[in-house]
Amino acid sequence: MEKKFDSIVVGGSISGLLCAREISKFGLSVAVLEEDYEVGTPEHCGGLVSLEGLKQLGIIPSSKAILTEVNKAKIVSSNQGFEVCTNREKIIVLDRRELDKQVAFQAQKLGSEIRTRSLVMSVNYDSSKKEFKIKTKDNIYYSQFFIDARGITSLINNHTRDGVLQSAQYEIYADWIRPNEILVKFDKEKYPDFFAWIIPSGNGKGKFGVAGRKINPLQTVESFIESFGSKYSIIRKIYAPVWIGGPLKKFVFDNTVIVGDAAGQTKPTTAGGIFSCGMGGILGGNHIALNKKSMIKSLGIDYEKEWFSIFGKEFQRMLFFRKIMERLDNKSIDAIFSIISDSDILEISRSANFDFHSFALSKILGSKKAIKLISTLLGNEFRHLLN
């Protein structure tokens, strides 16, 4: 079967669905092609997000989509640790299977066509007709715009592997899981260049995850879980890479618009992307629609400029903090955690912003004492990084 649309979005997750929703708002035709059988499934996400961030994405999550709330974050290294209270903002844990379906419904109500079980096998551009030809096993689609929302697969296939870390997350049931409390555990030897985490998911459940460079994610996540207790039941296992390499320099190539994970729009510190990737989808979609309606001339410059004006500096700071953390060993991280003052912790609890957390990082790594320690530990390398 052959079909024509103004735009085709490949990838029916948060960024692709929000992009389609925005395009549909302007009355343009758009189809979302998703390879999986069901939107939101399998769930490759911890689901940790701020309610404010979701609001900015135009989403009020249904009660079914909210698994639980979080009010405390415990950050630990091998021998030190501190706790931050997150009550200033409402941080929730989402069921991404439910949330993505909710966004799919928003998009579909506005006119988007969502097609699951539609693995896109090829995308070709005919410059004489100014048209994309997009093939799935059963259909051929034609469109003026192609939106690449294929997630990290797209980055791995088309760009670079440097920013990719292996990761695994098990959702388990155990009576020893602390409700409403996130745990972030740094250990350079076990989780090189990243960390392990626990995100509570309500009713005695929790998502236990690890990511790191050159790790065996399965073995690493299982020994992380077992370090807490041997009595637990595994409900769900996922293995998925995460991207920590920062955004691509360009998100638009002629009429190809890249959004979300595919554009590297995940936070380089935590690989969290619901908010920043979702914003990529919204801004990309808006600009496609405005460009089609001849209300803006430059699709690329406008979308890129807007996304970078919101996230550019923040992501640069995160990349800087990441570079420092990558160079510190367990002893040095212990030393930095040991000098964090109670007043810094209080200020982080009072003022930190979940979606723009470089402020919190600057409190931890940017205090006079910490800078002195880091420059002693890293010497010339630190001056190099600062430059």
Ligand X SMILES: Cc1cc2nc3c(=O)[nH]c(=O)nc-3n(C[C@H](O)[C@H](O)[C@H](O)COP(=O)(O)OP(=O)(O)OC[C@H]3O[C@@H](n4cnc5c(N)ncnc54)[C@H](O)[C@@H]3O)c2cc1C
Residues that bind ligand X (CB under 6 A): 10-16, 33-36, 44-49, 119-120, 149-153, 167, 169, 209, 240, 242, 260-262, 266, 271-274, 277
Instruction: Identify which of residues 31 and 365 has a Cβ nearer to ligand X in the complex.
Output: 31
Tokens describing residue 300: 């690329």
CA distance 195 to 186: 5
Instruction: Identify which of residues 105 and 382 has a Cβ nearer to ligand X in the complex.
Output: 105
Instruction: Identify which of residues 46 and 285 has a Cβ nearer to ligand X in the complex.
Output: 46
Q: How many CB atoms lie within 10 A of CB 197?
A: 23
Show the DSSP H helices in 123-256 as ranges.
152-158, 217-226
Instruction: Identify which of residues 32 and 335 has a Cβ nearer to ligand X in the complex.
Output: 32
CA distance 357 to 351: 10
Instruction: Identify which of residues 71 and 367 has a Cβ nearer to ligand X in the complex.
Output: 71
**Shortest gap between Cβ of 69 and ligand X (angstroms)?**
14
CA atoms within 13 A on the CB side of 258: 22
Tokens describing residue 211: 């990511």
Tokens describing residue 191: 């989780």
**Shortest gap between Cβ of 255 and ligand X (angstroms)?**
18
Burial class (CB in 10 A: 0-12, 13-18, 19+), 368: exposed
**Shortest gap between Cβ of 74 and ligand X (angstroms)?**
16
Query: What is the 8-class DSSP label of residue 227?
Result: T
251 with 304: CB under 8 angstroms?
yes
**Shortest gap between Cβ of 14 and ligand X (angstroms)?**
4
Instruction: For residue 140, give Cα distances in angstroms to 64, 124, 385.
Output: 36, 11, 49
**Shortest gap between Cβ of 225 and ligand X (angstroms)?**
15
**Shortest gap between Cβ of 116 and ligand X (angstroms)?**
9
140 with 247: CB under 8 angstroms?
no
**Shortest gap between Cβ of 275 and ligand X (angstroms)?**
6
Instruction: Identify which of residues 45 and 336 has a Cβ nearer to ligand X in the complex.
Output: 45
CA atoms within 13 A on the CB side of 380: 0
Instruction: Identify which of residues 46 and 292 has a Cβ nearer to ligand X in the complex.
Output: 46
As beta bridge partners, residue 72 has 85, 181
Instruction: For residue 40, give Cα distances in angstroms to 47, 85, 97, 98, 101.
Output: 12, 30, 4, 7, 6
Instruction: Identify which of residues 61 and 209 has a Cβ nearer to ligand X in the complex.
Output: 209
CA distance 34 to 150: 9
**Shortest gap between Cβ of 108 and ligand X (angstroms)?**
16
